[in-house]
Structure 1
Amino acid sequence: MIIDSHQHFWKYNPKKHAWIDDSMSVIQRDFLPSDLQPVYAENGVDGCVAVQADQTLEETDFLLELAHKNDFIKGVVGWIDFRSVAVEHDLEKYASDKKLKGYRHIVQGEEDHNFLLQPDFSNGISKLEKYNTVYDILIFPHQLGATLEFVKKFPNQKFVIDHMAKPYIKNGYYEGWAVLMKEIAKYENVSCKLSGMITEADYHHWTPEQIHPYMELVLSSFGPDRCMYGSDWPVCLIAGNYSQVLQLTTNYINTLSATEQNAIMGQNAVTFYDL
């Protein structure tokens, strides 16, 4: 069983999706379930978790609507404003929807390096545990210090780091990222997605060998029981096709036991997101 723990859908809007600049022109269009289904059929993928790409409640509703119409979308990671006084109202609103599995904020886009530690944001996160809902951490490496303090504050909250915290693979930077990732991995309530890797390398000249040291650090630190495969489709199309992304992970983990491989490629996502 293969479960893709991280992919996106959108109806492209140049203003709303301003982060998709001209270097990413290949994804400046709509991406919907009808685009992804044949890709999954070709690659033997059984299902996925759709993750928010826009910070609105409308985005959460859009993804949930797609999930209810398409059985292969097993769960949704949506968005609510954790800084809002209405946070509990919003959590209550989505609590009854069986496809809503978690939430995410685009922390990588926040100028404050310590955004995760802001009191109003932390207050919102503190409400999650009651609803048995997970939280996806989307950050850049310079935000790892705040992330370490953040996960310490919530020992009973299930977290997952998206895209291995986006290490600067293209520039070969490793040590600072590695030190903090190892520290964060000591907290057993934190998992990590083997996702978003080829787009952190050189779009046109990346090789698996350049990416392997980063994968090795994550696998050795978090262990096979806290790592999960994700494609980051359609963003991955900037630097490669779906098969290349899938094979990057499957080829790398092929020396692990069958049980460990199955965990990384699907079972960990099922368990983590309660799919």
Structure 2
Amino acid sequence: MRDLVIDSHQHFWKYNSEKHSWIDDEMAIIRKDFLPEELKTVYQENKVDGCVAVQADQTLQETDFLINLASENSFIKGVVGWVDFRADDIDEVLEHYSQFPVVKGFRHVVQVEADHNFLLRPNFLKGISKLEKYGYTYDILVFPHQLGAVLEFVKKFPNIKFVIDHIAKPYIKDGFYDGWAVLMIEIGKCPNVYCKISGMITEADYKTWDYNQLEPYMQLVLNAFGANRVMFGSDWPVCLVAGNYARVKEIITTFISKLSTQEQAAIMGNNTANFYNL
């Protein structure tokens, strides 16, 4: 029997030009609805057993939308929703979501915040501190210039499990590596921080990327976090801008083929199951 393959990172949406304004002209191919029925077929074709659905809009309605989809589709094993951690009623909001076991954690789109130190704002930190009480995880979505703040941030909460989305979006297209690598190594020393190997092909040139260009980034992440704190993620449907599901999965399976079968199983599903308590 093969080990379970769990996609640690994908999105659903009913396309709305205002809500999804981040989908620019270069990404026009994903200006449409993406719902579980379509992904289910993709998963059957690619031997993927389940997924974690991650927020793509910063509203409580988005969190409720994902909970609803999960209740109707058993392959959605967990939900990473959105809440406003700066809100005065954050405790009540988290208390409310604790009645839905499928909600595993939360995310804020920090990459769009103009303040490099957004994660370190007192009101945000106060909200994040409440996660421990409920056993929730937190997905860190940032650009490389925000990694200094990430390092300070994760050190403040040694009992909360964090995961860095999309290897912190290094500018692969421009060959940006060294500054990103130094900070990722430091962050990897924190045992409560994991990393998703996802979202790489959309940080490279959509049309001309190749495996050799991505490998050094994956190798650094593996060295920094180890095989037990790295997870496979597709970033479907965003990945369709620069490839397809099969290619994204193949990048990871090719890269980890040199590892032991146990380590491969960890990266392709077991780490995600453990991290999110699926």
Which amino acid in structure 2 is aligned with residue 268 of structure 1? Answer: N
Deviation of the 1:219 alpha carbon: 0.2
Count of aligned pairs between the two proteins: 275
Which amino acid in structure 1 is aligned with residue 212 of structure 2? Answer: E
SS of the residue 1:145 aligns to: helix
Which runs of structure 2 are paired with 1:116-135 in the superposition (5 Å)?
116-135=119-138
**TM-score by structure 1 length?**
1.00
Percentage of pairs with the same residue: 66
Please list every run of 5 or more consecutive structure 2 residues that lacks an aligned counterpart in the other structure: none
| Match 1:20 to one of 19, 23, 28 | 23
Deviation of the 1:37 alpha carbon: 0.6
Aligned position for 1:110 = 113
| Match 1:60 to one of 40, 47, 63 | 63
The 1-side partners of 2:111 and 2:49 are apart by 30
Which runs of structure 2 are paired with 1:1-275 in the superposition (5 Å)?
1-275=4-278
Which amino acid in structure 1 is aligned with residue 5 of structure 2? Answer: I
SS of the residue 1:224 aligns to: coil
Deviation of the 1:96 alpha carbon: 1.3
The 2-side partners of 1:79 and 1:247 are apart by 30
Which amino acid in structure 2 is aligned with residue 242 of structure 1? Answer: Y
Provide the alpha-carbon RMSD of the alignment.
0.3
The 2-side partners of 1:98 and 1:176 are apart by 39
Deviation of the 1:4 alpha carbon: 0.1
For residues 191-236 of structure 1, what are the alpha-carbon distances to aligned partners after superposition, in whole Å with 9 as ceiling and x for unaligned? 0000001000000000000000000000011000000000000000
SS of the residue 1:124 aligns to: helix
Which amino acid in structure 2 is aligned with residue 198 of structure 1? Answer: I
Deviation of the 1:187 alpha carbon: 0.3
For residues 142-176 of structure 1, what are the alpha-carbon distances to aligned partners after superposition, in whole Å with 9 as ceiling and x for unaligned? 00000000001111110000000001100001000
For residues 83-111 of structure 1, what are the alpha-carbon distances to aligned partners after superposition, in whole Å with 9 as ceiling and x for unaligned? 00010010000001010000000000100
SS of the residue 1:147 aligns to: helix
Deviation of the 1:265 alpha carbon: 0.1
Moved over 2 A (4+): none
Deviation of the 1:35 alpha carbon: 1.0
Please list every run of 5 or more consecutive structure 1 residues that lacks an aligned counterpart in the other structure: none
The 2-side partners of 1:158 and 1:200 are apart by 25
SS of the residue 1:202 aligns to: coil
